[in-house]
Amino acid sequence: MKNWQLIRTAHQLARLGTISATAKELGIHRATVLRHIDSLEADLGIKLFQRNPRGYIATEAGTELMRVVSTTDDQFSQIFNKLKQTSAPLSGDFVVTSLAPLVSIMMPILKAFQSAHPSIQLRYIISEDLFRLEYGEAHVAVRTGSKPDSPDNVVLPFVTNNLTFVAHKDYLRKFGTPVAPKALTGHRIVSMNELKPKVPIHKWLLNNIRDEDIVFRSNDSQALLQAILNSIGIGIMFDHETDQYPELVKLFQPIKEWEVQHWLVTHGDLHRSNKVQAFLKVVRTL
C-alpha cells in the first residue's frame, strides 16, 4: 500500500464511526480525514464506507480490510513495545555463580557489567552447588571441569586455568623445597576432602600422593587456602590466584593434564534475554 497513514485513518473511522471523532483521535483536521478516505478508496477502486445519519459504517469490503488492519496494528504495537524494552535501561536482579577461586577473574567482569548497567542489582554467589538454571536460580553459572552436556542449556567456553603446587616461604624454610612433583613424597600435603578420579588433578593426587602425607583436608576452598597461607602444608591453587600472595612460592611448572576449563552456562530460555546478552557482551570485550 502506498501510504500506511491512509489505512490508519480508515481504521480509526471504522472504529469510531464519525469524521470528528477520527480527526480528534489522530490529531488531524476533518478535511484531512475525508481526503485520506477518498484517496484510499480511489487507490483500491472499492467503496470502504457507507454514509448514514449517524456517521460512517464500513462496507463488507471495508470490514474485511479493517479486520486485517486491526491485526497488523496489534503486531506493530507488539514490535514497538519490544523495541522500547530493548532500548530501556536494564534493571532488576542478575544472578551469577562460580567457584571461589574464580573471584579474581570474575570481579573485573562484574564491575564492568554493573558500570554499564547501574540499575542492575547484582548477586554473585560463590558455591560448589550446581544451581538449577531451568528454575531461574541463576542467570549465568560458571561451571568448571568437563563441558556440561544438558541439552536445555547454552554452554560457551570461558577461561582455561593452570593448577600449580604452592607452599608458604615459612614451610619451605622448615621442610625444604621439592624440585619436581614426584619429590612431594614425604612432604606435608593440603588436599580436598574428597578426591574424584574423573577430575584430572584429583586422579594425579590419588596416583602420586601417599595418603599418610595428606595432613590437612577440607571441603572448602577458602579453608584450604588458609591452610597453605598458615604453612600447614603444600597445596594446589589456580595459577592466577598465586600472584595475589607474595609469600607463596610456585614449586614447579604446571603439568598440561592439570589444566582446568571453565564454561559459561545459561538456560536456553534465558540465553537470548537482554540481561544475559548484555553480560556476555561484557565478557567478550574484556
Does residue 273 share a domain with residue 131? yes
Angle at which helices 103-116 and 274-285 cross, to 10°: 120
Domains in the chain: how many in total? 3
**Tens-digit pLDDT profile for residues 83-129:** 555 556 788 889 999 988 888 899 999 999 999 999 989 999 998 88
Contact of 190 with 229, CB cutoff 8 Å: no
Containing domain of residue 234, as a range? 163-258
- Listed in sequence order, the residues at least 6 apart from 282 whose beta carbon sits closer than 8 Å to its beta carbon are 109, 112, 113, 116
Q: Which residue is listed with cell 476533518?
A: 30
Q: Which three cell numbers stand for residue 44?
A: 483500491
First to last CA, the chain: 48
Contact of 141 with 98, CB cutoff 8 Å: yes
Q: Which three cell numbers stand for residue 194?
A: 574428597
Does residue 181 share a domain with residue 210? yes
Single-letter code of the amino acid located at 138:
A
Does residue 246 share a domain with residue 194? yes
Does residue 272 share a domain with residue 149? yes
Q: What's the CATH number where 139 sits? A: 3.40.190.10
Say which DSSP state 247 is in. Answer: T
Q: Which three cell numbers stand for residue 121?
A: 542489582
Does residue 197 share a domain with residue 55? no
**Cα–Cα distance measured from residue 70 to residue 177, given in angstroms and rounded to the nearest whole number:** 80
Helix, strand, coil percent content, the chain, rounded in steps of 5: 50, 25, 30
**Cα–Cα distance measured from residue 187 to residue 167, given in angstroms and rounded to the nearest whole number:** 11
- Listed in sequence order, the residues at least 6 apart from 62 whose beta carbon sits closer than 8 Å to its beta carbon are 10, 14, 47, 48, 49
Question: Could you tell me if residue 153 is left (phi over 0), alpha (psi between -120 and 50 degrees) or otherwise beta?
Answer: beta
The sign of the dihedral angle between the CA atoms of 40, 45, 47, 48 is negative
Q: Where are the alpha helices (DSSP H) in the chain?
A: 4-16, 19-26, 30-44, 60-87, 103-116, 169-175, 200-208, 221-229, 239-242, 268-271, 274-285
Single-letter code of the amino acid located at 157:
P
**Tens-digit pLDDT profile for residues 170-206:** 999 999 999 998 899 999 999 998 888 888 888 889 9
> Model's pTM, two decimal places?
0.61
What's CA 175's distance to the chain center, in Å? 46
Question: Could you tell me if residue 27 is left (phi over 0), alpha (psi between -120 and 50 degrees) or otherwise beta?
Answer: left
Q: What's the CATH number where 14 sits? A: 1.10.10.10
Does residue 253 share a domain with residue 170? yes
Does residue 265 share a domain with residue 233? no
Does residue 77 share a domain with residue 16? yes
Q: pLDDT tens, position by position, for the chain (286 residues)?
A: 456 788 888 888 888 889 988 888 888 888 888 888 888 888 888 898 888 888 888 888 888 887 777 777 666 666 655 655 555 678 888 999 998 888 889 999 999 999 999 998 999 999 888 888 887 788 999 998 888 888 888 999 998 888 899 999 999 999 999 999 889 999 999 999 888 888 888 888 999 999 999 999 998 888 999 999 999 999 999 888 888 899 999 998 877 888 888 999 998 888 888 889 999 999 998 7
Does residue 239 share a domain with residue 214? yes
Does residue 154 share a domain with residue 269? yes
